[in-house]
DNA sequence: GTTAGAGTGATATATTATAACTAATAACGC
DNA sequence: GCGTTATTAGTTATAATATATCACTCTAAC
């Protein structure tokens, strides 16, 4: 496969993406974030977050459990769920409700619910930074005089690479 | 409780709503729908759908299982999940992913993913018929050249009756 | 170094969901 | 009606996801 013959599209993550750097960025941001809030970013928390970030795909809790067992002892479901809870509360990971799985948050600074595009073919997941979405949904909710607290928006379909030509 | 002294707001379902009629409508529509598609609307399917519709609240599978056991014998998890799958495939119920629960579809004619407002206080759930939402989400997805197949939109918050004055 | 609180380990159990096989029932062609 | 076939439902077992509880350990603060 000749790289030069391919147009460089932003969705083709594999062509442009140094994922090690991506993970390191996430870990560094988490460290800062925890420090700011007076929370400890312990070894366990770092390991779990790193595992969650190991791919741009939703990570299942019991898969994390297995991976974590390879690098630590005394790991039980509680360990993983407790740590994921901690990371969620700090906005460092999101739970994908329709998959019972977890992904690292790509914009952990702003307070937000994540909105996701999930490819049903390759499982790649992408958090959308479209600030209009929340505004739209709030407008729709206002028609019913409903006050939104948490938005679950998970759009399952095909990413550009997996769409038939 | 004086009915006349209350303002009639559309969100105050209990004041305007004859829920028996609501259930009957849902069952009748399901019957028609199944007939159209050459599917059998059996006693089991009718009972499960009726239980799902028994309140405007998400129904958990194992709660349905318990209720169903009261009116039938030989009921196991499989029974419930199989029937819910059937009903979902025909667009008669939706699964609420963030709650692992099920609700009757209030517009089973149009092909659609449901969009929901869920009150975290009273659990009332309402399916929004805002056709703009899908259009908006598709626009947002198009920015990423993503093709949506299924939308999970579950907005958790407070219904008007549960909002502090 | 003591202590209080946070973090983690360990064990048990609850909740949600599926697999695989069998029996009953309905639909269909004759 | 009668045998054939496909659909529906029953049965049993187990997998996958998640929480509760209590005990022990570490750390930061004093
Ligand atoms: Zn990355
Ligand atoms: Zn894909
Ligand atoms: Zn109703
Ligand atoms: Zn409410």
pLDDT in tens, A83-107: 999 999 999 999 999 999 999 999 8
- Residue B8 CB neighbour total at 10 angstroms: 9
What distance in Å separates the CA atoms of residue B117 and residue B74, rounded to the nearest whole number? Answer: 35
Strand C and A39 CB separated by under 7 Å: yes
pLDDT at A165: 85
Q: How far is the CA of B118 from the centre of ligand 4 (A)?
A: 8
Strand C nucleotides in reach of protein CB atoms, 7 A cut-off: 6-13, 15-20, 26-27
- Closest partner residue to B117 among A144, A156, A159, by Cβ? A144
Whether A48 has a pLDDT exceeding 60, the answer reads yes
- Strand order from edge to edge, sheet including B147-158: A125-127, A115-119, A147-158, B147-158, B115-119, B125-127
Contact by Cβ (8 Å): A107, A128:
no
Average the pLDDT over A128-133 and give the result. 87
For residue A165, give both structure tokens.
């030509």
Scan residues 16-35 of chain B and list those with Cβ within 7 Å of strand C. none
Q: How far is the CA of A14 from the centre of ligand 2 (A)?
A: 12
State which fold the B12-162 domain adopts. Arc Repressor Mutant, subunit A (1.10.10)
What residue ranges do the domains of chain B occupy? Answer: 12-162
Model pTM above 0.75: yes
Whether A2 has a pLDDT exceeding 90, the answer reads no
């Amino acid at each position: 496969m000749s790289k030069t013959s391919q147009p460089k599209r932003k969705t083709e993550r594999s062509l442009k993406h140094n994922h090690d750097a991506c993970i390191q960025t996430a870990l560094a941001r988490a460290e800062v974030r925890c420090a700011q809030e007076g929370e400890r970013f312990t070894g366990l928390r770092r390991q779990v977050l790193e595992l969650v970030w190991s791919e741009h795909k939703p990570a299942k809790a019991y898969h994390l459990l297995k991976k974590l067992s390879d690098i630590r002892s005394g790991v039980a479901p509680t360990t993983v769920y407790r740590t994921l809870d901690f990371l969620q509360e700090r906005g460092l990971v999101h739970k994908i409700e329709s998959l019972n799985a977890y992904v690292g948050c790509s914009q952990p600074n702003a307070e937000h619910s994540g909105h996701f595009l999930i490819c049903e073919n390759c499982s790649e997941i992408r958090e959308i930074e479209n600030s209009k979405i929340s505004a739209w949904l709030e407008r729709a909710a206002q028609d019913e005089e409903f006050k939104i607290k948490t938005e679950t928006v998970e759009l399952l379909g095909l990413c550009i690479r997996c769409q038939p030509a």
